[in-house]
Amino acid sequence: MPITSAPPEAAVLPRRNRKAERGEARAGVLFALPWIIGMTLFVAIPLVVTFYIAQTKFQIIGAPKWVGMQNYEALWSDPAFWKSAQNTLIFGAISVPVKLIIALGLALLLNRATALSGFYRTIFYLPFLMPAVAGSVVFMLLLTPNAGPVNIALEAMGLNPPDWLLDPNAALWTLILLSLWPLGVETLVFLGGLQNIPKDVSEAADLDSPKRWHKLVWITLPLITPMVLFNLVIGIIYSFQVFTQAIVIGGTTGTPAEATLMYMVVLYRAAFRYFNMGLAAAMATVLFVVVLILTLLIFKTARSWVHYEGGEI
């Protein structure tokens, strides 16, 4: 640790040249320097500029013109903004927890050594490797009303399936359903957590109580809360940025009837279709604030439910 405050009697003593640690510290800064520059160039400066553009009228051509809060006022009265925000919130609020629960269930199922374990893991992971564009296209085909295999199968079972992506009342729910498919990363992160539980802890729990669910609730779940936190935070942040699936399936208008219109799609539309950079920047700023507040809230509550082995890092 670097010296932060001088000891009380240091004033009278000559300060030593801190050679060994200074060499290491200099190397530390040098090695981190490219990334520090990168963060400045690609994160810090753009972040500030985004806040600035949000307060201007800026159409790419010409200079930005200061308009104060006008862009935010325009957003406030823009139905597409509200619709997309609503869709995105519903999407995130349902997709993320459901996905985590399924992933956790799968991880618990996977957490035993059988001859087929590797096979199952591979299968659950594969959807993550599928480019989102390709995956969405395949689902569009699978869920084609009337002629698609899913509906043919459901109809054969005597059910009355919805029109999935074509029904304005069902399309958002279909999108949520599709988002559950690639849960390999979440599952494997949970599985990693489960397998990191020391064997003696697990065995001690077996000795303490023969009931499996006791162990699950009192031992297993608390020990993997760090993974829950990680998956939850990343999941929420990414769910707010859902874009590829939405634009492949709903285009820039969120067909059908704006049912699949997502926040990022409206933002993209504003910036790169209408070249209204000011409005887009205002939307980006709103997203930033929402994500910031949510993340802080999660981390704040995390103290009370996340268990960290040995405390710090």
Judged by CB under 8 A, the chain residues 263 through 292 that form the site for another protein are 264, 267-268, 271-272, 277, 280-281, 284-285, 287-288, 291
Closest by Cα among 24, 159, 115 to 150: 159
215, amino acid identity: K
Report if residue 301 touches another protein, rule: CB under 8 A: no
Nearer to another protein, 173 or 181 (CB): 181
Instruction: Select from 69, 93, 101, 142 the one that contacts another protein (CB under 8 A).
Output: 142
Token pair for 297: 């809230």
List beta partners, residue 65: 57
Q: How far is the CB of 27 from another protein (least distance, A)?
A: 3
Residue in 81, 91, 124, 164 binding another protein, rule: CB under 8 A: 124
Asked if 293 and 213 count as a contact pair (C-beta separation under 8 A), the reply is no
Of the chain, the end-to-end C-alpha distance in Å amounts to 15
229: tokens are 């936190």
Q: Considering the rule CB under 8 A, would residue 46 count as an interface residue with another protein? A: yes
Q: Is 201 in the site for another protein (CB under 8 A)?
A: no
**Beta bridge pairs of residue 56:** 66
**With contact defined as beta carbons under 8 Å apart, do 25 and 2 qualify?**
yes
Candidate segments 71-79, 87-95, 159-167, 191-199, binder of another protein by CB under 8 A: 191-199
Nearest approach in angstroms of CB 162 to another protein is 18
Quick one: which of 103, 170, 193, 258 contacts another protein (CB under 8 A)?
Answer: 193
- Judged by beta carbon, residue 148 or residue 259, the one nearer another protein is 148
Does 204 contact another protein by CB under 8 A? no
Rounded to whole angstroms, the Cα distance separating 121 from 200 reads 25
Helices (H), 45-168: 45-53, 70-76, 79-110, 117-129, 132-142, 149-156
* Ranges within 66-85 binding another protein (CB under 8 A): none
Q: Using CB under 8 A, pick the residue from 69, 93, 134, 201 that binds another protein.
A: 134
